[in-house]
Amino acid sequence: MTTMTLGKALNSGLRRALDADPKVLLCGEDIGKLGGVFRITEGLQKDFGEHRVIDSPLAESGIIGTSIGMALRGYRPVIEIQFDGFVFPGFDQIVTQLAKFHFRSHGRSRMPVVIRIPFGGGIGAIEHHSESPEAYFSHTPGLKVVACSTAQDAYWMIQQAIASDDPVIFLEPKRRYHEKSEVDTERVPMALHQAAVRRHGSDITLLTYGPMVKTCLEAATIAAEEGTSIEVVDLRTLSPMDMVTIFESVRRTKRAVVVHEAQRSFAVGAELSARLTEELFYVMESPVLRVTAYDTPYPMSRVESEYLPSVDRILGTVDDSLAY
């Protein structure tokens, strides 16, 4: 076991993937000599060369289009989108080309492309630098969408995503990059598309992912002091979603609250609410409730704390669910 930040774990996972397979390439804006805005790829160009860690032009559509061509030639490109809001210039390439190539070619053409996206708020960034675009991609057939929340997951999930023959949208909670935790670089990891029960409880289930996992765990700790036992499930993967683990948890607790940073309407929480209602309507003792951001763009940094889900908002919603 070793202790490292989530960002360092990603760096180490990328390094291990580059070492293991000469067909793995990294590409993105300023990822080489600079090591990326968040320094996730720091030192990799120096060790693996400019032909494998490529500083690209400032053109997201071109970067993603080029990665599709590289995948068709047998490479496994890993693309870094510098900030979440910058992915939209490449959106057409992702949803109309990358996501559909395997289906369109009747299974003949694989698309082993990973698109790394730092997502979410909480860093006091300016416009277009804090977004939660996960619903767009989760809605798109042909894409896998995953979100790490711990250094352990970051280390292993990036390697599993690179090994996948399907395109993977890899979401990284940017405000958690510098948080440290233990990483076991030898233990056989969980399956990429398996949810994790981060804390066991009996009264209610919190369903969450990415940057909100830590917030939900903090809420569960406070609730325990007041006699409420909260189970926290980290989805880890948004498409495909591990409904087996989710259903098992909610069957035990009979209540569920979904927590995410993305806006409320038509988001991951809405899909979870629908599926739980369809499957467990006669099991649950209260409706599925949601704690989310508001249906507005991410605001300026000085009021961001009012916009993002907080421990207080989560605990208030837990109380509302238990009151039914």
Are 225 and 276 in contact by the 8 Å Cβ rule? The answer is: no
Residues 19, 4: Cα–Cα separation, whole Å:
20
Q: Report the run of H or E that residue 318 belongs to, with start and end.
A: helix 311-322
The three-class DSSP label of residue 262 is: strand
Question: DSSP for 189-240?
Answer: PPPTT--EEEE--SSEEEEE-TTHHHHHHHHHHHHHHTT--EEEEE--EEES
Q: Is 129 a catalytic residue?
A: yes
The whole-angstrom separation of Cα 248 and Cα 92 is 37
Reported as half-sphere exposure (CB side, CA atoms, 13 A), residue 125 has a value of: 20
Please tell me the distance from the alpha carbon of residue 42 to that of residue 47, in angstroms, as a whole number. 10
Q: Which of 51, 102, 129, 193 is catalytic?
A: 129
Cβ atoms of 251 and 283 closer than 8 Å: yes
Which amino acid, 300?
A: M
CA angle 254, 258, 264 (to 5 degrees): 140
Task: Please report, for residues 30, 79, 272, the alpha-carbon distance to residue 279 in angstroms, rounded to integers and kept in the order given.
Answer: 46, 37, 11
| Alpha-carbon span 306 to 72, nearest angstrom | 45
DSSP state of 247: H
What is the rounded CA–CA span in Å between residue 245 and residue 261? 22
Q: Which residues are catalytic?
A: 129
